[in-house]
Amino acid sequence: MLFDEKEMMELCEKYGIPVVENDGTVLFEEEMTEDFLISEIMNEPYVSYDDNINISSKKYSLNIPLIGGLNSRNEMIDNTSEIKYCSVAKDKYYNNCTSTIDRKSKNAIAA
């Protein structure tokens, strides 16, 4: 676990950062994204993608553009790696219901 409230308060005091109640207030614009590990939503061990990744899960059924440049074009993401994140801009994509899994990646691995 990374978060320690006492440590956080000490840092805020050191830098004069005000502290507020945790009531869901958005602190900065980039915070309006929701992060999740690819492994949390994908069943495929490897997925390939261009600029967008098409995924399907119980929670999300989306066409998500990858933020942060996890990998270069046409390469595989190893879904078993814990450091791979997707970011989704809140309210921007949740209603977008294209949902296909790229089966090419599974076939390529099988081959």
Partner 1 sequence: MCMSKISIEYNPLLYYNEIGYHKTYSIYKESIIENGFKPSCDDDDWLGEGIYFWDNLDNANWWNKNKNKGTMKHCVFQCELRCKANKYLNLDDKNEMNKFDIFSKQYIKEMRKLGEKIPKFGNNNQRKKFFCDLYCKKNNFEILSHTFEHDIINSAGFKVGIEYKRQICVRENSNIKIIAVKE
Side-chain half-sphere CA neighbours of 25 within 13 A: 6
The residue among 28 and 95 lying less far from partner 1, judged by its C-beta, is 28
Looking only at Cα atoms, what is the longest distance across the chain? 58
Task: Show the site string, 47-66: x = touches partner 1 by CB under 8 A, - = not.
Answer: --------------------
Q: Is 38 within 8 Å of 70 (Cβ atoms)?
A: no
Task: Using CB under 8 A, pick the residue from 59, 83, 95, 107 that binds partner 1.
Answer: 83
Compute the residue count for the chain.
Answer: 111
Where along the sequence are the contacts to partner 1 (CB under 8 A)?
A: 1-3, 5, 7-9, 11-12, 14-15, 17-22, 25, 27-28, 31, 35, 68, 83, 85, 87
